[in-house]
Amino acid sequence: MPIAVVRAEAYYLPPPPPRGDPHAWDGMPAAERVFHWIEYRLSRRTVIPTSVIPDVPPVYARINQNRWLGDCVCGAACIVSPTDPRYGCTECGYGWVELVFPEDVATVEAEMLLTPQPHLRNWWHPLDPANPYTPQPEPQPEPEPEGGTL
């Protein structure tokens, strides 16, 4: 069975026994898991955003080496999930902002599984201004010279 594309709820997990309960975060919104994970893994206090930042561009989710990622305006990134399309940053406090996923997440994830090596699975949203792989126009054939040879 191929390795699935990693989402926040599969990566940001609570401490294992005996320190923690593996089901302690069941039902927690996926976008909030990273804040709790940073606290227990790095022993650093984080502040979960309490409101949506109005009138800012969305964050486009992308797949980087088999992980759904959201990139912050500050340069940080975290693993995100299509089950909770919000982005908030544990580094600079930015958030919540809209997190844009493809219309058909299942199709994009299925396409990723066609590449057997997870580290080679990368995908960018076509509308993401940071997408380095924007479609280029097809090269047009050179027009035939008019008239005969000189």
Binding residues for Zn ion (CB under 5 A): 72, 74, 76, 89, 91-92, 94
> What is the nearest approach in angstroms of Zn ion to the Cβ of residue 78?
9
Chain centroid offset of residue 34 CA? 13
Question: For residues 89 and 112, which CB has a smaller minimum distance to Zn ion in the complex?
Answer: 89
Question: For residues 111 and 128, which CB has a smaller minimum distance to Zn ion in the complex?
Answer: 128
Which residues, including other chains, have CB under 8 Å from residue 48's CB and lie 6 or more apart?
32, 35, 88
Question: For residues 68 and 94, which CB has a smaller minimum distance to Zn ion in the complex?
Answer: 94
> What is the nearest approach in angstroms of Zn ion to the Cβ of residue 91?
5
> What is the nearest approach in angstroms of Zn ion to the Cβ of residue 5?
23
